[in-house]
């Protein structure tokens, strides 16, 4: 199947008032319910026609909800992160070091899939 043929115009609603629009396709998604906090979380990962990634997080406890979208693009040694209204650039190696540190992953370790899922759930709690 030609990946380009599955691309479509997507508009993700964002709580900051700046919807994130792009041409792309859904790559993966997951959701879970946290019984302790009564919070339902859904995460979606999109790939754009420019080979960027868009990460979308929607959370709801039944009364309130939040929606956040982030587009990530790698340009040379930098990662450009854009949330629809603000953009920042960070050296890719420093970003990966920060992510590994925040997730408690020691340098040189490769986390298992279940560890990554646990880390993602904890980061969104």
For residue 111, give the DSSP letter.
-
In terms of pTM, does the model score above 0.85? no
pLDDT of residue 29: 93
Rounded CA-CA distance 124/22 in Å is: 24
Rounded distance between C-alpha atoms, residue 12 and residue 40, angstroms: 18
Cα gap 23→93, rounded to integer Å? 28
Question: For residues 16 and 114, which has the higher predicted lDDT (pLDDT)?
Answer: 16
- Domain count along the chain: 1
Which backbone phi and psi does 78 adopt, to 5 degrees?
Answer: -110, 150
Radius of gyration of the chain (CA): 16
User: Which DSSP state fits 121?
Assistant: H
């Amino acid at each position: 199947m030609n990946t380009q043929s599955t691309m479509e115009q997507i508009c993700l609603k964002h709580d900051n008032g700046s919807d994130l629009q792009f041409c792309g396709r859904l790559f993966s998604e997951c959701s879970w319910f946290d019984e302790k906090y009564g919070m339902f979380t859904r995460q979606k990962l999109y790939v754009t026609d420019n080979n960027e990634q868009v990460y979308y997080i929607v959370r709801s406890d039944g009364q309130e909800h939040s929606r956040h979208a982030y587009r990530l693009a790698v340009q040379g040694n930098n990662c450009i992160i854009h949330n629809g209204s603000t953009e920042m650039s960070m050296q890719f190696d420093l970003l990966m070091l920060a992510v590994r540190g925040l997730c408690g992953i020691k340098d040189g370790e490769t986390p298992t899939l279940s560890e990554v899922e646990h880390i993602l759930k904890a980061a969104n709690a």
